[in-house]
Structure 1
């Protein structure tokens, strides 16, 4: 498989306002890609439209050569923390077990091996001691670790994360990025909506610059340049660094 993800002329709108226009790009397997752009650029909408969580007005998307409905068991997704109802009465272990429901079945009880697998995912995130803690009682960074553990337990081939580093502490940021790097090293394909321009070069080997359409996409050392950033952000660019 030469391409893990193919997006062809994807467009999307909210009510009658177009927020994505003719977005096209391909992603190679085993890459760690950041989606970068100004506020309102359509970064979250892009992921949601690709995963059929928001309707497309045009375009096609394939994952490992298949449409989403056929490939969805191979896909892990971590939404924005602010979009989740954290008051839902469940504990951290049960949240992670939700990632196994595709294998267990929605009407079946988890087996001991399933619970052990979920605990191992929590352990990899440094969260095993919080397994029985209500999700609403965890800090923002802890909640984000639990949701990443839920995605990890799926053992997916493709991972999509929507601003996983927003509002987390430094320790959680290191754990998340180390985990994503490990996934990449295992041949998994990862796309991340990212907001901190100063860490893009440190964290990602590919970058997709987006402002309602694709401005540039490719290896970070080729695409993440002052010229391309100014094309993406225009007058909204406020990143003070020697590159810019």
Structure 2
């Protein structure tokens, strides 16, 4: 069964098409990196899939069902830059927001809910910051809190938009350890990612996107110089060096 299936998806901002004829499918238990140049539509793709931005054409199914019937099985970590970090709340409350589906709207979380949220914060190394205002946290700490909020949903499919952008090395390692654990538990994770040098080490699947799908498949077959050049065009020159890829302007 496909956890996610996308067929002929298109979307636009105002009159500018940002996604065109996007088609791909994702199987259970995979860890997929979504890569492409700036402006390729990576973040827009996630928003359209989750009905956070309207689509022009196409069909999307999750677990062979429409989104509205399986929302509780899907977790989402947005870009850190899209969040109002000045909102007056602490890390524990942010995590408990991920349990609204379990708690119910207009109801107060109980002791069990708070313990569950604390456990999620502990898993990402943030238990000691539970009552710290989110505006007082560093970028990496804020990202860990939002990861905890997603984990507490106990979803089967996770979308993460640039979770490694602007974080320190320790946070990057911690996040990737958690994502691998999710994969090993049979969860499915799609990650918008910006660093091509780590794709081979971090993911088992890669999706090259530049307004449409350039290539998609297992990393060892798909993460090639040819596909990188197709996706990124002539803006960069890619050289294979050891286990990674380095680039320099043409």
SS in 1 for 2:234: helix
Task: Please state if 1:105 is matched with 2:104.
Answer: yes
Report what 2:187 is aligned to: 188
Q: Distance in 1 between matches of 2:83 and 2:29?
A: 28
User: Matched residue of 2:11: which SS?
Assistant: strand
Give a deviation string over 1:109-142, Cα, whole Å, max 9, x none: 1011100000000000000000000000000000
Looking at structure 2, the residues matched to 131 and 177 of structure 1 have their Cα atoms a distance apart, in angstroms, of 22
The answer to whether the 8 Å contact 2:207/2:217 transfers is: yes
State whether residues 41 and 211 of structure 2, in contact with CA within 8 Å, keep that contact through their aligned partners in structure 1.
yes
Matched residue, 2:59: 60
Alpha-carbon RMSD across the aligned residues, in angstroms, is 1.0
Q: CA deviation at 1:65?
A: 1.1
Secondary structure in structure 2 of the residue aligned to 1:235: coil
Which 5+ residue runs of structure 2 have no aligned equivalent? Answer: 246-250
Q: 1: distance between equivalents of 2:111 and 2:232? A: 50
Higher strand content, 1 or 2: 2
**Superposition TM-score, scaled by structure 1 size:** 0.98
Contact 1:9 1:58 in 2 (8 A): yes
Q: Which residue of 2 aligns with 1:223?
A: 222
CA distance, structure 2, for counterparts of residue 165 and residue 19 of structure 1: 23
**What aligned pairs does 1:137-152 form with structure 2 within 5 A after superposition?**
137-152=136-151
| Structure 1 residue 241, shift from structure 2 partner | 3.5
**What is the TM-score normalised by the length of structure 2?**
0.95
CA contact (8 A) 2:30 2:204 kept: yes
Superimposed CA distance per residue, residues 175-199 of structure 1 (whole angstroms, 9 cap, x where no aligned partner): 1000000000000000000000000
Q: Which residue of the partner structure matches residue 200 of structure 2?
A: 201
Total equivalences in the alignment: 243
Bigger Cα displacement from structure 2, 63-72 vs 24-33: 63-72
Equivalent positions of 1:133-172 (< 5 A) are 133-172=132-171
Q: Note closer, same or farther for the CA distance 1:241–1:119 as it changes in structure 2 (3 Å cut).
A: same
Q: Distance in 2 between matches of 1:50 and 1:237?
A: 29
Contact 1:10–1:56, Cα closer than 8 Å, also in 2? yes
Q: Report the 3-state secondary structure (helix = DSSP H, G, I; strand = E; otherwise coil) of the residue aligned with 2:43.
A: helix
Encode CA deviations 1:188-224: one digit per residue, 9 max, x unaligned: 0000000000000000000000000000000000000
Superposed displacement of residue 240, structure 1: 4.2
Alpha-carbon separation, structure 1, partners of 2:228 and 2:69: 36
Distance 1:35 1:131 in 2: 31
Q: For residue 131 of structure 1, what is the aligned residue in structure 2?
A: 130
Contact 1:38 1:236 survives alignment (8 Å): no
**Are residue 79 (structure 1) and residue 78 (structure 2) matched?**
yes
Q: Which residue of 2 aligns with 1:89?
A: 88
Measured in 2, the distance between the counterparts of 1:28 and 1:233 equals 26
